[in-house]
Amino acid sequence: MVDQATGSDASRPAATGGEEHAFSAEVGRLLDLVVHALYSEREIFLRELVANAADATDRRRFEALTDAAQALPEGAKVRIDPDKDARRLTISDDGAGMSKEELARNLGTIARSGTRAFGEELAKHKPEERSGLIGQFGVGFYAAFMVADHVDVVSRRAGTDEAWRWSSDGKGSFTLSPATREQPGTDIILYMKDDADEFLDAWRLEAIVRKWADHIAWPITIQSDGEDKPANAGTALWRKPRSEVTEEQLTEFYRHVSHNFDTPWATLHWHAEGTIEFTALLFIPGSRPFEFGEQVRESKVRLHVRRMFITDDAALLPPWLRFVQGVVDTEDLPLNVSREMLQATPVLQRIRKAVTNRVLNELRTRAKDAESYAAFWDNFGPVVKEGIWDDAEYRTDLAGLARFRSSTEEGWTTLADYVSRMKDGQEAIYYLTGDNADTLPASPQLEGFKARGIEVLLLTDPVDSFWPDRLGTFEGKALRSVSQSHADLEKFEAPLSEGDKAELDTLLPALKEALGEAVSDVRGSTRLVSSAVVLAAAGQGPDLQLQRMMRRSGQAVPDLAPVLEVNPAHPLIRDMATRVARGEAVTDTALILLDIARIQEGESLKDPTAFASRLTATLTHLQGGAA
C-alpha cells in the first residue's frame, strides 16, 4: 500500500519539501558505521524490518483489546513488494503506525548504546560476525541504509486519520511531511543501491524470510507475478513436540525473540499440565548482550494466550532472571486480558512460580558441568546474585548456585565448598569486597588471613556489597566482611610481645591525638604482615566498600570514621614509637599513614595537595638525613 499521491519518481525519491531535521549526533555517526562496516551480511536488513513490522502488528492487536479504534483489519499481514523497474522495495504492515512525533523520536534518535561503544564493539568482531551487532544494539531500522540510497517511511497511527512521511538519504538529516495512507500502518520504501539487485528478486527475498523470520506468527507475503505469495510458515514453534523441532530452528527462533545472534547456552521446552496449562520455550543466552547491565530490570519473556501475543511486560520471571528469553503460551487466560488484570490474576502468579522453578532446576542440573557453568556465571552471575539480595523466597537456592573467587582456590568456588574447607574453630565465612579483581588479592586486608591459612571470598560486583548482610548465614555459618573481623582474627593470632605492647602504649595515644576525628580509633594488630597500616570498619555499620558505594551514588552515609590498625612489627611503626618516646611530633607522618591506608582501600584522598606536601617534606627530610 505505497502512497501513490505522495509517492516519488520511479528511480529516485522526490524532494518532500517538508520540515527538515538533523539526526542526533549519535545517529549520524551510527549510520556511517552501519553503512560502511556491516556489509558482510546485508540480508539482515530484511529480517530487522520484517520483525519491526510484526512487532507493530502485535502492538496494535494488543491495544485493540481495550480500544476498538485500534482493531486490526481482517487478514492483517506483513507485505513485501519488490519493484525491479523502479528499483524499489516496500515493506508494509497493518500495525499500530506512528504519529509525526513518534516518527521523529523513533527514527531520528537512538536511546541505547552510544556510537563510541558501538564502534569499539565493532572492532572486536570479525567481518562475518559484525551483522550480529545490528540486533544487539537495537539499530535494526538503520540497517536499511546498507542496501538503500534513500528511505521513505509513510505511517498512519491507528485511531487517527493523519499520515506522515519520514524521508532521508541517511547522510545527516531527515524530513517530515504530510502524507496520505488509506489504512493505519506503515510502509517502508527502500530505493535500492546499484549493487543491491539481489534484494529485488522474489526468490531471494523468500529465502531470507525463511531463514530469519519463518516463525513470525503473522503471515508474510512477497509480491510476485501480481500475487501476494506466502513466504513464512507462521507456525508457533513452541507448540510443536520437542522431537519435531531441530536445533537450527530453535536457534533461529531464539535469535528472533532475543535480537541476539549467538547460540543459546540452554534451551528449555516443555508443556505443563495440571491446575494450570501452559507451554514454554525459553532460552538462556550463550553470551552477555552488550550494555546488559544498563537495561531495565524487568523480564521480557513474551506472554501468549492461545498462540496470540499479549505482552512482554507480564514479568513472567523475576528480575534476577531477566536475561532469559522466550515465550510462555497459556490456555488459562482470556484473550482480552488487560495489563491491570495480569498483575492480579492468580493464574499468572502460578505460571510465574512454575516457570521460575523450572529455570532454577535447569541451572542446578547444568551447574554439575563446572566448565560450562563457569561460562554462564561469567555472563550472568552478577544478575543472579541480585536475587540473594531482594528475593526472600529464593535467596537460599540462589546462594547455593552462586560462584565466587577465593584467596586460596583457583577458579570458581561455592559457599558449600568454602564451608567444607573451614579451619577448626572458624565460625564465619569471610569475604572482602572491592572494585578491582586484579588488585583485590593483594589487599592488606588479607595479610593476616593469608598468614593463618584462612580462606577469604573475593567479591568485586557492585551487588556484593549488599547481599551478604541480607543472606546472613549459610549452613549455619555467618558471612562476615574481613574489614569487620578484627575480633574474629584475634583467636588465630599470636599475642603481642611485651615489647610491642610497650611501644604501642606510647605510640597509639599520640596517633589518636594527631588524627583526631578522622578515625574512630587507632589500635595495634598482628593481622598485618608486610603493610604498616590498614583501615577497618568501625562498629556494626556498613563495611568500607559499601560506604564507598553509598557515597558515590549520592546516598547519605552514617558518620562512621574508620579504625586505623597499625603493624607493631613494621620498621616505620617502630621508628614512630621511638620518636614519640623521645618527645618528637609525628603528626605529619600519622596523616601520611592515614592517607596511605585510604589509597590502599581504593578511596580518593580528601586533600591530595596536603598529602603531596607532607610526603615531599618527609622525603626531603629523609634525604637530608642520609646526606
Q: Which residues are annotated as a binding site for ATP?
A: 48, 52, 93, 98, 106, 113-114, 136-141, 186, 339
> Distances from the Cα of 35 to the Cαs of 42, 139, 143, in angstroms?
10, 12, 8
The CA distance from 348 to 239, in Å, is 19
Tell me if 240 sits within 8 A of 269, measured CB to CB.
no
Cβ atoms 263, 286 nearer than 8 A:
yes
Evaluate whether 153 touches 123 at the Cβ level (below 8 Å). Answer: no
Helices (H), 391-439: 395-401, 415-420
Q: How far is CA 329 from CA 187, 305, 312, 326, in A?
A: 30, 5, 12, 10
Contacts of 402 (CB under 8 A, 6+ apart): 381, 384, 385, 388, 414, 415
Q: Which residue has the cell 545527516?
A: 172
Residue 208, Cβ density class (10 Å: 0-12 exposed, 13-18 middle, ≥19 buried) = buried
- Residue stretches of the annotated binding site: 48, 52, 93, 98, 106, 113-114, 136-141, 186, 339
Distance between CA atoms of residues 90 and 276, nearest Å:
43
What sign does the dihedral 330-336-341-345 (CA atoms) show?
Answer: negative
In whole angstroms, what separates CA 451 from the centre of its chain?
38
Distance from C-alpha of 223 to C-alpha of 375, rounded to nearest angstrom: 45
Is there a contact between 93 and 81 (Cβ–Cβ < 8 Å)? no
Please return the burial class of 557, using the count of CB atoms within 10 Å of its CB with bins 0-12, 13-18 and 19+: middle
